[in-house]
Structure 1
Amino acid sequence: MQNILFILNEAPYGSERSFNALRLAINLNEQEHQETRLQLFLMSDSISCALVKQTPAEGHNIQQMLEILLAQGAEVKLCKTCADARGLSMLPLIEGAEIGTLDDLSLWTLNADKVLSF
């Protein structure tokens, strides 16, 4: 089994970086010849990717993509410091996503076979 850590930094709809990270993560989970364990740590403006009730006018839906990953067994944590700084700590999150700390990210990084930053 391969442990892959994704670190996201970009807002969900300001650019396509978070979208592309989630596309790759979903695709990795769908590869039949390779078993993977995915962990996603959302930092900076990407923490808003895990907020509920997203209704983008058109195109991709980041909330749905994260829900797919969570259903596939991925772990999703949001940086507590980043959430506090943006006043988002008390807002409801997608079911399965949780607030994490720099200690969580450090442990995930040490245990990862690969770290991808978007």
Structure 2
Amino acid sequence: MAKQTLLFILNDAPYGSERSFNALRLAINLNEHEKTEISIKIFLMSDSVSCALVKQAPSEGYNIQQMIEILLAQGAEVKLCKTCTDARGLTALPLIEGAEIGTLDDLATWTLASDKVVSF
């Protein structure tokens, strides 16, 4: 079976709604399927850009930072929309190691190269 490329586009903040959480847990689960060879790409837009900030310390429940670190360790690529980070004053803040600032051109390239695009 040929390797599939899946692009996840996230838009919601890491906490407050569970959209980003659900997207990341689906991506992790897909990476753990033994019979499927996939490449995961995650593009963070709008309020989801704060998902890639370090030093997250939620008091209970899930930890988005840890989930992104797991995905990066599994070989996923994670990019944040520069326009969105600029608008929120986050561009100069430290990011989870392996995550990087990207552009709409990066998203367009990833979209065209992907077999499936999932938006949360």
Candidates 63, 66, 70, aligned match of 1:64: 66
Which residue of structure 2 lines up, in the alignment, with residue 76 of structure 1?
A: 78
Q: Counterpart amino acid of 2:14?
A: P
Q: Any idea what the Cα deviations from partners look like across 1:68-108, whole Å, max 9, x if unmatched?
A: 00000000000000000000000000000000000000000
Length, aligned pairs only: 118
Q: Counterpart amino acid of 1:3?
A: T
How far, CA to CA, are the matches of 1:99 and 1:13 in structure 2? 21
Q: TM-score, normalised by structure 2?
A: 0.98
The answer to whether the aligner puts 1:112 opposite 2:119 as a matched pair is no
C-alpha RMSD of the superposition = 0.2
3-state DSSP of counterpart to 1:7: strand
1:26 is displaced (CA, Å) by 0.1
Candidates 40, 61, 67, aligned match of 1:38: 40
3-state DSSP of counterpart to 1:70: helix
How far, CA to CA, are the matches of 2:15 and 2:104 in structure 1? 25
Which residue of structure 2 lines up, in the alignment, with residue 24 of structure 1?
A: 26
The gaps in structure 2 that reach 5 residues or longer are none
1:14 is displaced (CA, Å) by 1.5
How far, CA to CA, are the matches of 1:82 and 1:4 in structure 2? 22
Runs ≥4 residues deviating over 4 A: none
Q: TM-score, normalised by structure 1?
A: 1.00
Identity %: 79
Which residue of structure 2 lines up, in the alignment, with residue 14 of structure 1?
A: 16
Equivalent residue runs for 1:49-60 within 5 Å: 49-60=51-62
The gaps in structure 1 that reach 5 residues or longer are none
How far, CA to CA, are the matches of 1:46 and 1:23 in structure 2? 15
How far, CA to CA, are the matches of 1:78 and 1:84 in structure 2? 10
How far, CA to CA, are the matches of 1:33 and 1:89 in structure 2? 38
3-state DSSP of counterpart to 1:45: helix
How far, CA to CA, are the matches of 2:81 and 2:31 in structure 1? 23
Q: Counterpart amino acid of 2:43?
A: F
Q: Counterpart amino acid of 2:92?
A: M
